[in-house]
Amino acid sequence: MSKEKKIKVSAKYITKTFDLGKSKSEKIRAILNPMSKGPKKFWALKGINFKVYEGDVVGIVGVNGSGKSTLLNILSGLLLPASGELTINGEATMLTVGAGLRAQLTGRENIRLKSLMMGKTNKEIDDQMDEVIEFSDLGEFIDQPVKDYSSGMKSKLGFSIAVHQDPDILIIDEALSVGDQTFAQKALGKMNEFKNKGKTIFFVSHSLSQVRDFTDKAMWIQYGELKAFGSTSEIAEEYQNWNKWFNSLNKSEKTMYQEQQKQKQILFSEEQLIKEVKSDENLDDSEKQHLSKHIAVGDTMALSMWALFAISLLGTVFFIYQYAMWG
């Protein structure tokens, strides 16, 4: 009898926007203009949908700036999505290389801090300390403040701390492209160990051969959209064909194509997203309603601030009038 796999991560219409033009004068102008829709937005993720099951090892590919790191940061809880529904069944840890380390603390202190944050006891940390230090290859540097480390050393420490937390969902961002060759081999060995234990893994890499070697499924993120999700061999071929097509363009055609895609990410809107949600045949009515309700249409900030201002002004005028009339 086949056992059904559990869903580990489910993403429904996940979006992330960043404000464009955040200069002070632009912000002030936006506040002073009651009709303003606020600063222009850039849609780094335009509504990503997927389901990842227990034990899936998923590669994420896409050109620079397509939204891979933004998605990983959302999955690991470092960034909040602007809208959408994300369900994570388990503990997700980002195996970033260097991120989250405290510069003033030593390597050893960082190991303790991160492990305490992950819920380990001091006894558990003491028992594991030597192993984490040995894996990191940092030797005596482990008692130096991290601010004095090279980026490769920070990567080694970050990697070593993360893999020793034993999370059940592992998020790996370009982990094999840092550190030296020997460390990369060791890191790959550790990642394979996780894979063999049946952990769920997300793996971003610009190296298609690493994605082919290490993952079973792959997502292709393209300018904020999930362009394709399927078996690694299928997606790697599609992505490679697209790259061939792109590289056959001349320089100005490439620039024009990239500009057009970025423009689409600026012109995308909440209204468009709601339309997509409403026409999605895989969603039932209550899901459509729930997802649409949480997509704020337009930026009403300026209007509400103006309303508040008008009410306070009327209140003040009324108060002065009363005071003048009745002393």
Extract the tokens encoding 80: 């909040």
Extract the tokens encoding 31: 């506040």
Shortest reach from residue 22's CB to ligand ATP, in Å: 9
Sheet order of strands, 7-19 included? 41-53, 7-19, 83-88
Chain positions 70 to 99 lying near ligand ATP, rule: CB under 6 A, are 70
Toward ligand ATP, which CB reaches closer, 42 or 242?
A: 42
Query: Residue 286, Cβ neighbours under 10 Å: how many?
Result: 8
Shortest reach from residue 79's CB to ligand ATP, in Å: 9
Which residues are 230's β-sheet partners? 218
Extract the tokens encoding 172: 């790996």
Shortest reach from residue 45's CB to ligand ATP, in Å: 8
Nearest to 46 by CA among 192, 261, 312: 261
CA 174 to CA 163: how far, in whole Å?
A: 15
H/E stretch holding 92 reads strand 92-95
Each residue 32-71 as x (binds ligand ATP by CB under 6 A) or -, in order, gives ----------x-x-----------------x-xxxxxxx-
Shortest reach from residue 15's CB to ligand ATP, in Å: 12
Toward ligand ATP, which CB reaches closer, 75 or 111?
A: 75
Toward ligand ATP, which CB reaches closer, 135 or 220?
A: 220
Toward ligand ATP, which CB reaches closer, 36 or 261?
A: 261
How many residues touch ligand ATP (CB under 6 A)? 11
Shortest reach from residue 234's CB to ligand ATP, in Å: 21
Sheet order of strands, 57-61 included? 92-95, 169-173, 200-204, 57-61, 217-222, 225-231
Which residues bind to ligand ATP, rule: CB under 6 A? 18, 42, 44, 62, 64-70
